[in-house]
């Protein structure tokens, strides 16, 4: 069953644009989860984002995203937001 308080957005991006887009999305706020999928739709990363997550806590995930992004040519970024 789908939660009506959660809105999902999907972005088709080149691998080198993932980190930039994630940082932009995080600045907007109200993010619950970020999912990165490869061209085949396979989930590569699923990162829950909780309220109060800032800088040092999120830094390891951003480094991992950067490493994954370096391997991808195209990907889908799925963002779950609070409605």
pLDDT of 20-79, one tens digit each?
A: 888 888 888 788 888 989 889 999 888 887 655 555 556 677 777 777 777 778 889 999
What's 48's domain CATH number? 3.30.1490
What pLDDT sits at residue 29? 77
Residue 1 counted as domain residue: no
73, 39 Cβ separation under 8 angstroms: yes
Tokens of 39: 């061209």
Beta bridge mates, 8: 80
In the chain, the number of structural domains is 1
Tokens of 15: 């691998």
What pLDDT sits at residue 2? 64
Beta bridge mates, 7: 81
Residue 45 counted as domain residue: yes
Residue 40 counted as domain residue: yes
Grade residue 15 by pLDDT with cuts at 50, 70 and 90.
Answer: confident
């Amino acid at each position: 069953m789908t939660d009506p308080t959660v809105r999902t957005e999907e972005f088709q991006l080149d691998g080198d644009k993932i980190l930039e887009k994630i940082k932009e999305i995080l600045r907007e706020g109200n993010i619950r989860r970020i999912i990165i999928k490869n061209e085949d739709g396979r989930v590569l990363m699923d990162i829950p984002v909780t309220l109060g997550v800032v800088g040092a806590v999120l830094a390891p995930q951003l480094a991992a995203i950067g490493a994954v992004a370096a391997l991808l040519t195209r990907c889908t970024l799925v963002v779950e937001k609070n409605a």
